[in-house]
Chain A
Amino acid sequence: MKKVMLAILVLVIASAFVSQQTKPQPGGLKAAMTRGKTVYETVCLACHQVDGLGVQNMNPPLAKTKWVLGDKKALIKIVLKGLQGGEIEIDGDKFHNPMPPQESTLSDQEIADVLTYIRNSFGNKASLVAVGEVKAMRAKLK
């Protein structure tokens, strides 16, 4: 009996740990979208525009791109570390602005929020980005 209790305890702790890692956004999708919209408008909109469609040859669109909808780790890295300009190619077009790194200006929560927002706006539909995922990536890139 004691052993079973212990096993349950271990399970509970483990699952708490797991849910900490991939904890859905505080307040759920709706709250994350609201917070993410604010981050988008103050930081990203200047370049990627109100409609998320970017500007020809300058700033790429965020609508249905493989970076926005694809591997979350790579996506988080783009926002933390930025890009030089000319790194992204869409239909043979490159973009001349750089993408500024946000590691010094945005918190893990803000990055999780804004990425959740862009993955679910401009016609996109994809899973949430959790704060733990951003935290893990930031630690890895240190």
Chain B
Amino acid sequence: MKKVLILACSVVFAAAAFGSDTTRVKSSSTGTVKRDEAPLTLPTGFKSVVIAADLGRARHLTIAANGDVFVKLAKLKDGKGIIHLHDKNGDGKADEVTGFGNYVGTGITIKNGYLYASSDEDIFRYKIDEKTGKVDEGSEQKIVTGLWNKNQHESKSIVLDNNGNIYTNIGAPSNCCQVQDRVKGSPGQDPCPILEKAGGIWQFKADKLNQSYPEGVRYATGLRNVVGLDWNTEVNNLYVMQHGRDQLFQFFPELFNQKEGAENPAEEMFRLTKGADCGWPYCYYDNDKHEKLVTPEYGGDRKKADRCADKTKSVAQFPGHLAPNGLLFYTGSQFPEKYKNGAFIAFHGSWNRAPEPQAGFFVVFMPFKDGMPSGKWEVFADGFSQLPKDVTSGRAKYRPCGLAQGPDGSLYVSDDNNGTIWKVSYSK
């Protein structure tokens, strides 16, 4: 018995030692890329490569037609807020890492010869030559300015349609629009004044300078916080992922037990048209009752639907608190047929399921047909958290955040904890 124990221990130690022995490759301009670090768990036929690492808080990312990768950082790295990754020698890893833009933020996207990027208050754009990946930094224009940033739910994600409009979320700086945010027993404000300036999606012109609230259109309201959004070109609609409210178990233990508090409310996917009202803060989607119900702060009892009956319905619901931070409709042809026009969603992972084990920290896939989900969601990429199963820690190793599609149909995933960028590709 003793021998078995010793053996087991030494195997574990050896494995641990081996595991931490990653080969480091010096990259030309910043830091090091750890070769073969953090392989992801993927379906058969898929493989992942770490193309860059240690970028820090890598939020969203976008890929130019020549394959160059642009990453928006929420914390400056060497004074830069946008990182430009170029693979000079064609080995699949970034060997030229440069940066520009001296502001932090989340959103970044390329459209019609411009690279758009957001701080937590503004949206900028730059001329880009997609054939070479060259960005004209001097061409910087501020197209949107002065959006609410009150710390909580501060990030501004951005996407464009095909009609010259840009969309951004303005997150509500609040959990549930209580008089006193996150204080047990404090009532919900009715009407919620936050909705005038936040808690929704705003639409601006992609080419006009210095727009703010007066020039913008509140395209959709009743969305607490959105980080993952995408324009679905197949059906020409905006889709967004809402982060549902926190602390139902802590504030309403008589309505939600610990497990129900971890599972509720749903994280919801909405297909938006102009004028949509998705219900926050008055309504939440109950994952046990499969219905949009009145929020307890507004008199809800887990039964009443009342004012929530005519709110915009979500097209998909996910377990509570998983924090969907990236959404991408796959239009490539590298992946097998079932992925075409389907949705990839990067879940950042939970903190508000404690003391139940945290969950999320994965990229899921949901098949779509004609703009509506056509099957159940499944975990596509996993292995990010590196936490032992059922551990309640809120500190995952990697946290998926952004998604982007490369010109060859590969899928890119960013992690905003360490700044790791993976490229996922498929071959038969």
* B351 with A53: CB separation less than 8 A: no
Cβ–Cβ contact A46 & B152, under 8 A = no
Q: Does B393 lie within 8 Å of A49, measured CB to CB?
A: yes
B151 touches A58 (CB 8 A): no
Contacts of A123 in B (CB 8 A): none
B183 proximal to A (CB < 8 A): yes
B232 is an interface residue with CB less than 8 A from chain A: no
Please state if B246 and A96 are interface contacts (CB–CB under 8 Å).
Answer: no
- Whether B395 pairs with A53 at a CB distance below 8 angstroms is yes
How many angstroms between the C-alpha atoms of A101 and B185 in the bound complex? 12
- Smallest Cβ-Cβ distance to B184: which chain A residue: A105
Per-position contact with A for B152-188: 1 when CB-CB < 8 Å, else 0? Answer: 1110000000000000000000000000111111100
Interface string of B376-408 (1 = CB under 8 A from A): 000000000000000011111001000000000
Residue B132 is within 8 A (CB to CB) of chain A in the complex: no
* Contact between chains at B394 and A85 (CB < 8 Å): no
Residues of A within 8 A of B151 (CB): 84-86, 96, 98
Pick the most buried of B181, B416, B417: most chain A CB atoms within 10 A of its CB: B181
Say yes or no: A58 contacts B351, CB within 8 Å: yes
Residues of A contacting B153 in the complex (Cβ-Cβ under 8 angstroms)? 96
Interface presence of A59 (CB below 8 A)? yes
Indicate if B352 sits at the interface (CB-CB under 8 A). yes
Q: Bound state CA distance, A13 and B355, in angstroms?
A: 47
Q: Beyond A53-B393, A53-B394, A59-B351, is A104–B185 a contact (Cβ under 8 Å)?
A: yes
Q: B42 contacts the other chain (Cβ, under 8 Å)?
A: no
B183, A101: Cβ atoms closer than 8 Å: yes
Q: Do A85 and B250 touch (CB < 8 A)?
A: no
Q: Do B399 and A56 touch (CB < 8 A)?
A: yes
Of residues 43 to 87 in A, which have CB atoms within 8 Å of B's CB atoms? 43, 45-47, 49-51, 53-59, 84-86
Report A-chain residues with C-beta under 8 Å of the C-beta of B135.
Answer: none
In residues 101-122 of chain A, which contact B (Cβ within 8 Å)? 101-102, 104-105
**Contact, CB under 8 Å: B354 / A46:** yes
Size range of the chain A interface in the assembly:
20 to 34
Closest to B323 in A: A58
User: How many Å lie between the Cα of A56 and that of B417 in the bound state?
Assistant: 8
A85 to chain B, nearest CB (A): 4
A45 to B261, CA, bound (A): 14
**Alpha-carbon gap, A45 to B417, bound state (A):** 22
CB–CB B180/A50 < 8 A: no
Say yes or no: B394 contacts A54, CB within 8 Å: yes
* Distance of B179 from chain A, by nearest CB (Å): 11
Q: Which residues of A contact B181 (CB under 8 A)?
A: 98, 100
Question: Of residues 14 to 60 in B, which have CB atoms within 8 Å of A's CB atoms?
Answer: 57
User: Please, how many angstroms separate the alpha-carbon atoms of A43 and B250 in the complex?
Assistant: 7
Known A46-B247, A55-B351, A58-B351; contact A98-B152, beta-carbon cutoff 8 A: yes
Q: Say yes or no for A97: interface residue by CB 8 A criterion.
A: yes
Chain A residues whose CB sits within 8 angstroms of the CB of B351 once the complex forms: 47, 49, 55, 58-59
Residue of A nearest to B57 (CB): A57
CA A50 to CA B186, docked complex, whole Å: 25
Q: Quick one: given A45-B354, A50-B354, A50-B355, are A97 and B392 in contact (CB under 8 Å)?
A: no
Whether A46 lies near B185 (C-beta < 8 A) is: no
A69 to chain B, nearest CB (A): 20
The 3 residue pairs across chains A and B that have the minimum distance between CB atoms: A55-B394, A85-B151, A100-B182
Give B residues with C-beta under 8 Å from A. Answer: 57, 74-75, 150-154, 180-186, 246-247, 250, 351-352, 354-355, 392-396, 399, 416-417
- Given contacts A46-B354, A56-B417, 10 further A-B pairs with CB under 8 A are A46-B250, A49-B392, A49-B393, A49-B394, A57-B57, A57-B416, A84-B151, A96-B154, A104-B183, A104-B186
Query: Could you write out 11 A-B pairs with CB less than 8 Å apart?
Result: A47-B351, A49-B393, A53-B394, A54-B395, A57-B416, A58-B394, A97-B182, A98-B152, A98-B181, A98-B182, A105-B185
Binding site for B on A (CB under 8 A): 41-43, 45-47, 49-51, 53-59, 84-86, 92-93, 96-98, 100-102, 104-105
